[in-house]
């Protein structure tokens, strides 16, 4: 069941061309990652979730919107670049489809470090720096400049506590980072990750529904994905009118 | 000095699962009740289907009074306690807002652990160091109150024993009940059918467990929509029978209940004769004294115990109702850990399930099987359910097939996100010497009051049940076609959980129990205590329905004996 048919726009073709090339040429791949963070990929795909957050009625329009204003809210530019390379290793964009990069996990993590996860912000600064220091010490280059295999071996060393300089230690930092990368790839798009629902499509999750019939459940992964955020449902948005909510309803699936 | 308010008949501390229920029989009897609640009112609009907010960020519980009062935990008195998470909920409706809503009656054996064990296996089979006692009454005494809650709050389920007539569609091991549930059970699903069929081929009796969730129009509330965001979230259509949408509004409608929100109770006040006179609470930046003839303490096991321990006075220098030194004793957290996780070779269709929609097996619970050749008493209820969300699915076990990141892992979760299941196994847990709650000597809440310190660990009996029940669970999964199994550790420290029991145990002996058989303190005649803190055994199933049945019973007793209790 191929459910990756909902992404549209010419930018995708170009991205997948770049992706194929990057798989052959790792340094090209790293270049692409840099682009993805602040440049072309962000511009071509950000419109959708931005629109979702602002106005659910227009969610189906996307690619011709202008690039939204966007800040790095917590991370420095270099930290964001290092983090993007790490996220690429954790949930890669590969022959099986898009990964953390297309989901914009870094965008999610940056926003979360400026809000709900602000307690982890310092740990990120220390940890990302430790990874770069280790990369320079052992390979003579910053993490982002290394080949994929070299990056992976460094992350494995961090995960198995063979690198020092982390809070509380390498595996603790790695587990947190892994968990946040998963959150950013598979969360509700409202939070700035799971861009274009790539995470939910990856898992063949048919999406949030306010009710599921027995037929829906039986259909399972063959149920067409609805690609809706919780906040596409007006009931749950900030601006909802309490007198107009339909929460007393219920259409009797039981 | 606190500002003194007008006196009321009854003040209830906590408008949750227990206090919310107690309010109804009291107000129906015409008593004036003030319900103090540390949180506010929530509405269905607050329950967005949002996994990140509800389950990962724990939104319902994260920014509340209870969050700054999380207990510290240590295994033994020689360890250093560290602060952990907390399971409490400050809101009108309390934990019934966001709980799984499984609503079991205890089995008859749970009321008579000591006498039944001695009778069937001999005295030597009572585990060493346990302080377990029989309850002061049997299942039969609580049956009418279970029935009252099932029909008032709204519980769906399949009876297995109506007036002695067994029905294998329900739990054939349950105690005899007067009548059927008011609503049919939650529907089955492809996964529950798979597991149910496997259980039957093992000769076991699978059934859908009871839930405080509507399955048809009930009391003006619509049926469950099966969208699956029950866990850590409230219901968007009020199908979950939270006290905030059932008994509390009914009590408010009598005109006799006033709910005071964002009220932090800091002290239960006593006079020199040893009677309670009311409670102090903080709302905003003001302190109030709410006088009452009777106080009902209903603020969850940890906070019940803490408030008693903090409420020292001339009559009770070691904490209220604690002259016998029993407050905080006989503490248990349900052994819910040590799960078994399975991987299947096909999709399980669980994206839209909920924790209360599942299959239960009771063959290995309580004393439903012969323990003659075993080295433990009690057992476990096996439960598998339909509930899956994308973030938690991506965090599934890798079953040692791949490391937990990278291309191979991504391919693994793409294939298997809907092919894994983790069981929920609730095990008999006993109270022991050395497992207790007291005030932490170091950690304090923002008001400067010590938080609760848990000192407790599982013992051999619990670990043996865990190992035994894991074997049964593995057998069940394999019968259903699981291709890989992971069993987790048997448990050690009893951290703070949603199933906390004891600390103000109910019993006839005032030397070993805090409250009498009606829920009133042995040492304080006009102080009632509600919640699982009065329970002397855990059973092997969720406590809330029992908590609610006991609460109704205590409140009804109070209304019927008002003059003698209120003095």
Query: A253 and B237: CB-CB below 8 Å?
Result: no
d(CA B25, CA B352): 37
Domain boundaries, chain A: 11-241
pLDDT(A126) > 90: yes
pLDDT attached to residue B123: 96
Confidence of residue B1 (pLDDT cuts 50, 70, 90): confident
Residue A192 · residue A45 · CB < 8 Å: no
A14 interface with B at CB cutoff 8 Å: no
Residue B439: half-sphere exposure toward Cβ, Cα within 13 Å: 15
How does pLDDT run across A203-220, given as a tens digit for each residue?
A: 999 999 999 999 999 998
Pairing between strand B8-13 and B3-4?
unpaired
State yes or no: ipTM above 0.90: yes
d(CA B184, CA A22): 57
Give the angle subtended at the CA of B434 by the CAs of B488 and B318, to the nearest 5°. 135
Q: Phi and psi of B493, rounded to 5°?
A: -75, 140
How does pLDDT run across B532-557, given as a tens digit for each residue?
A: 999 999 999 999 999 999 999 999 99
Nearest residue of B to residue A91, measured between CA atoms: B406
Task: Considering only residues B13 and A12, tell me which one the structure prediction assigns the higher pLDDT.
Answer: B13
Three-class secondary structure assignment of A137-196: HHHCCCHHHCCHHHHHHHHHHHHCCCCCCCCCCHHHHHHHHHHHHHHHHHCCHHHCCCHH
Q: Looking at the complex, report in whole angstroms how far the Cα of residue B103 sits from the nearest Cα belonging to chain A.
A: 19
Confidence of residue B276 (pLDDT cuts 50, 70, 90): very high
Window from B50-59, B162-171, B427-436 with minimum mean pLDDT: B50-59
Q: Is A233 helix (H, G, I), strand (E, B) or coil?
A: coil
Which residues numbered 76-105 in A keep a CB inside 8 Å of some CB on B? 89-92, 94, 96-97, 99
Query: A242 and B43: CB-CB below 8 Å?
Result: yes
Task: Work out the number of other CB atoms within 10 angstroms of the CB of residue A16.
Answer: 13
pLDDT(A8) > 50: no
Query: A254 and B224: CB-CB below 8 Å?
Result: yes
pLDDT(A24) > 70: no
Sign (positive or negative) of CA dihedral B248, B253, B256, B258:
positive
Residue B137 · residue B550 · CB < 8 Å: no
Count of CB pairs separated by less than 8 Å, A with B:
157
Task: Give chain B's mean pLDDT.
Answer: 96
pLDDT(B186) > 60: yes
Residue among B44, B52, B238 minimizing CB distance to A183:
B52
A157 interface with B at CB cutoff 8 Å: no
Question: Percent of chain B beyond pLDDT 90?
Answer: 92
Indicate left, alpha or beta for A10 from its phi (over 0: left) and psi (-120 to 50: alpha). Answer: alpha
Q: Looking at the complex, report in whole angstroms how far the Cα of residue B412 sits from the nearest Cα belonging to chain A.
A: 10
Query: B223 and A250: CB-CB below 8 Å?
Result: yes
B192 interface with A at CB cutoff 8 Å: no
Nearest CA to A167 among A117, A215, A121?
A121
Residue A193 · residue A200 · CB < 8 Å: no
How does pLDDT run across B405-450, given as a tens digit for each residue?
A: 999 999 999 999 999 999 999 999 999 999 999 999 999 999 999 9
Query: B237 and A247: CB-CB below 8 Å?
Result: yes
> Counting Cβ atoms within 10 Å, is residue A58 exposed (0-12), middle (13-18) or buried (19+)?
exposed
Which residues numbered 112-141 in A keep a CB inside 8 Å of some CB on B? 116
pLDDT(A39) > 60: no
Task: Considering only residues B345 and B63, tell me which one the structure prediction assigns the higher pLDDT.
Answer: B345
What's the pTM value of the predicted model, to 2 decimals? 0.90
Task: Considering only residues A30 and B169, tell me which one the structure prediction assigns the higher pLDDT.
Answer: B169
Pairing between strand B276-283 and B286-297?
antiparallel
pLDDT attached to residue A58: 38
Q: Which residues of A touch B238 (CB under 8 A)?
A: 247-248
């Amino acid at each position: 069941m191929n459910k990756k048919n909902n992404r549209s726009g010419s930018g995708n073709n170009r991205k997948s061309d770049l992706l194929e090339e990057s798989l052959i040429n790792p340094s090209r791949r790293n270049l692409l990652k840099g682009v993805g963070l602040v440049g072309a990929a962000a511009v071509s795909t950000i419109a959708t979730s931005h629109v979702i957050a602002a106005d659910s009625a227009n969610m189906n329009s996307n690619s011709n919107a202008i690039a939204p204003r966007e800040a790095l809210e917590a991370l420095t530019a270099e930290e964001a670049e290092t983090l993007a390379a790490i996220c690429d290793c954790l949930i890669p964009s590969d022959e099986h489809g898009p990964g953390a990069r297309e989901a914009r996990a870094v965008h999610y993590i940056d926003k979360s470090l400026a809000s709900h996860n602000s307690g982890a912000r310092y740990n990120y600064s220390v940890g990302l720096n430790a990874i770069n220091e280790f990369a320079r010490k052992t390979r003579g280059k910053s993490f982002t400049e290394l080949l994929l295999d070299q990056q992976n071996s460094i992350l494995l060393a961090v995960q198995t506590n063979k690198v020092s300089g982390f809070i509380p230690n390498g595996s603790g930092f790695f587990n947190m980072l892994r968990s946040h990368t998963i959150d950013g790839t598979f969360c509700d798009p409202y939070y700035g990750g799971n861009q274009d629902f790539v995470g939910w499509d990856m898992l063949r999750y048919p999406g949030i529904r306010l009710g599921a019939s027995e037929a829906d459940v039986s259909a399972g992964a063959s149920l067409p994905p609805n690609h809706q955020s919780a906040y596409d449902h007006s009931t749950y948005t900030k601006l909802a009118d309490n007198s107009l909510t339909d929460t007393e309803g219920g259409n009797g699936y039981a | 000095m606190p500002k003194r308010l007008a006196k009321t008949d009854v003040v209830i501390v906590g408008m949750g699962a227990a206090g919310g229920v107690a309010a109804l029989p009291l107000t129906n009897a015409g008593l004036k009740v003030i319900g103090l609640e540390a949180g506010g009112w929530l509405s269905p609009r607050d329950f967005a289907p949002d996994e990140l907010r509800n389950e990962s960020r724990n939104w319902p519980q994260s920014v509340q009074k209870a969050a700054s009062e999380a207990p510290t935990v240590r295994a033994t008195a020689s360890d250093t306690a560290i602060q952990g998470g907390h399971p409490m909920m400050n809101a009108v409706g309390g934990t019934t807002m966001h709980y799984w809503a499984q609503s079991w009656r205890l089995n008859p054996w749970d009321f008579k652990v000591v006498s039944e064990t001695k009778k069937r296996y001999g005295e030597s089979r009572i585990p060493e160091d346990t302080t377990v006692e029989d309850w002061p009454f049997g299942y039969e005494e609580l049956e009418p109150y279970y029935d009252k809650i099932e029909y008032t709050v709204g519980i769906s389920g399949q009876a297995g024993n109506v007036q002695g007539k067994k029905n294998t569609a329900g739990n054939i091991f349950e105690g005899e009940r007067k009548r059927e549930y008011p609503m049919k059970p939650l529907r089955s699903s492809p996964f529950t059918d798979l597991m149910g069929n496997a259980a039957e081929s093992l000769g076991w009796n699978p059934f859908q467990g009871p839930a405080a969730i509507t399955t048809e129009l009930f009391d003006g509330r619509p049926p469950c929509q099966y969208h699956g965001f029950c866990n850590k979230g409230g219901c968007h259509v009020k199908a979950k029978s939270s006290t905030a949408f059932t008994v509390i509004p009914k009590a408010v409608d009598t005109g006799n209940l006033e709910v005071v929100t964002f009220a932090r109770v800091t002290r239960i006040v006593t006079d020199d004769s040893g009677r309670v006179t009311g409670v102090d609470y903080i709302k905003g930046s003001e302190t109030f004294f709410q006088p009452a003839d009777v106080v009902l303490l209903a603020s969850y096991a940890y906070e019940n115990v803490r408030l008693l321990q903090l409420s020292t006075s001339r009559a009770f220098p070691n904490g209220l109702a604690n002259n016998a030194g029993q407050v905080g004793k006989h503490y248990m957290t349900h052994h819910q850990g040590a799960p078994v996780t399975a991987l299947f070779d096909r999709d399980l269709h669980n994206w839209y399930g909920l924790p209360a929609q599942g299959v239960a097996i009771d063959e290995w619970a309580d004393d439903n099987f012969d323990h003659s050749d075993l080295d433990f008493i009690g057992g476990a209820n096996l439960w598998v359910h339909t509930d899956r969300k994308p973030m938690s699915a991506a965090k599934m076990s890798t079953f040692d097939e791949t490391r937990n990141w990278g291309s191979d892992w991504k391919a693994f979760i793409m294939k298997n996100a809907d092919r894994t299941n983790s069981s929920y196994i609730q095990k008999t847990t006993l109270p022991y010497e050395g497992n207790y709650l007291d005030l932490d000597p170091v950690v304090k809440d923002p008001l400067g009051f010590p938080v609760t310190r848990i000192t407790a660990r599982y013992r051999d009996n619990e670990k043996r049940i865990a190992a035994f029940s894991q074997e049964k669970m593995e057998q069940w999964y394999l019968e259903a076609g699981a291709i890989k199994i992971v069993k987790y550790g048997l448990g050690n420290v009893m951290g703070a959980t949603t199933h906390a029991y004891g600390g103000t145990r109910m019993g006839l002996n005032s030397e070993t129990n805090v409250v009498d058989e009606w829920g009133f303190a042995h040492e304080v005649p006009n102080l009632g205590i509600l919640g699982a803190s009065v329970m002397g055994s855990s059973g092997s199933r969720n406590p809330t329905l029992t908590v609610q049945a006991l609460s109704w019973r205590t409140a009804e007793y109070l209304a019927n004996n008002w003059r003698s209790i209120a003095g």
